[in-house]
Chains A and B, each alone.
Chain A
C-alpha cells in the first residue's frame, strides 16, 4: 500500500534523518511499483531515479527533520481505523436523517476539546478524524486545543466524551455505473447551485471543494464505464492536488487581513 498518516514503517519518533529517508525511499519505491505496473528495465531505472530525486528534494525541503512520517504502525492503529469506520457509518446516518427530514432538526454547536497528545501528527490525525466523521468538523487547532463545530448538540457531547481522543493517541453490470454517475452529476448540479447562490465567498469555496471530490469519483466511474481503467491516473491527480486551491484561498485571506485592509469592503463593490 502507499501510506496513511501513520502507517509508515520503522521510524520511531526519534529515528534519525537517514532512517526516515530510507523509510521514505522504501514507501516511494513501493508506490512507484504499484502505480506503474510496467516492469521494463528502462522504467525501473527511471523509477529508481525518480524516487532518489524525490528523497533528495524532501531532504532539501527538510521534510524529514521531524517525523511527520511518524510511526505507530500496529494493531492499535488498525483497530483505530476500524473504530473510526464504525463511527463514520453511524454519524453518516445521523446527518442523513437531518438532511432528509423536512424540519431540518439541527442544533449547531461549537465545542472545545483538549487533545491528550501534543504530538503534531496525533493532533493532525485527531483533527482530520473529527472532520471525516460527518456531523463534526474541526475548524481551528491552536496549542493543542481543537475547536469543533458539531451539527447537533449530541454530536458535540460525543466528541467531548473523548473516545476518539483516547483512541488517537471487463466489467459487467454497466447499468449500475449509470446509476451512480447520475447521482454524482445531480450532486454536481446541486453544488453548482450552491456556488452560484453563495452567499459568502466561502460557500463558493465549499462548492469548489465538493466539485473536486465529485470529479474524482466521476472520473473513476467513467474510466470503468469506458473500459479504460488504466486512466485512473487522472482521478489520482485530482485526489492529490485539488486541495491546493483551498489552501491558496486561506493563504490569500490570511495575508490580506495581516495587511490591515478592511475585512469586508464588499459594500463598496456594489
Chain B
C-alpha cells in the first residue's frame, strides 16, 4: 500500500503535464483551452486528495453520530467554487476565440501570427 499511497499524486502529475502538453504542443487555440481544462482538473484532484482521510466520510455531519471521522472540508470548499469559476472563465476564453475567428478567419496560432506579421 505504501507505494500505491502516492498513486493519486502521480495521476495529478501526469494529468497536469498532459494538460500542459496540449497547451504548448498544439497550435489550435481551442485545443489549448481544452488542455487548460485538464490542467485545472488535475489541480482539483490534488486538493481533494489532500483533504481525504482514510476511513473518513464526507464532512456532512449526520444527526446522532459523534465518533465518525470526516475528511477535511476546506479543500472541498475551495474546489467547489473553483469548478464554477473554471467553467465561467473557460467560457470567457471561448468567447475570445470566437472573436479571434471572426477577425482572423482562423483559430490556429500559426495563421494568426502570419496575419499579424503582414
Binding site for B on A (CB under 8 A): 226-228, 230-231
A to B CB contacts below 8 Å, 8 in the list? A226-B57, A227-B57, A228-B57, A228-B58, A228-B60, A230-B60, A230-B62, A231-B58
Residues of A within 8 A of B62 (CB): 230
CB distance from B51 to the nearest CB of A (A): 16
Interface mask (B38-66 → A, CB under 8 Å = 1, otherwise 0):
00000000000000000001101010000
Q: Return chain B residues, CB-CB under 8 Å to A227.
A: 57
Cα A230 to Cα B60 with chains together (Å) = 10
Which residues of chain A are near B57, meaning CB under 8 Å?
226-228
Which B55-81 residues have C-beta < 8 A from chain A?
A: 57-58, 60, 62
Complex Cα gap A20–B57 (Å): 43
A226 to B62, CA, bound (A): 14
CA of A122 to CA of B62, assembled, Å: 44
User: How far, in angstroms, from A230 to B58 measured CA to CA in the complex?
Assistant: 11
The closest CB in chain A to the CB of B62 belongs to: A230
- Extra A-B contacts (6), CB below 8 Å, given A228-B60, A231-B58: A226-B57, A227-B57, A228-B57, A228-B58, A230-B60, A230-B62
Alpha-carbon distance between A231 and B57 when the two chains are bound, in angstroms: 11
Complex CA distance for A228 and B60, rounded to whole angstroms = 10
Which 7 pairs show the lowest CB-CB distances between chains A and B?
A228-B57, A226-B57, A228-B58, A231-B58, A227-B57, A230-B62, A230-B60
Q: Enumerate chain B residues within 8 angstroms of A228, measured Cβ to Cβ.
A: 57-58, 60
Residue of B whose beta carbon sits closest to that of A226: B57
State the CA gap A231–B58 with chains docked (Å).
Answer: 10
Q: How far is the CB of B16 from chain A (nearest CB, A)?
A: 21
Contacts of B58 in A (CB 8 A): 228, 231
Provide the bound-state CA to CA distance between A228 and B62, in Å: 9
User: Within the assembled complex, what's the spacing in Å between the Cα atoms of A117 and B58?
Assistant: 50
Inter-chain CA distance A228–B71, complex, in Å, is 14
Q: Say how far A41's CB is from chain B's closest CB, in angstroms.
A: 18
CB-based nearest A residue for B68 = A227
Least Cβ distance of A230 to chain B in Å? Answer: 8
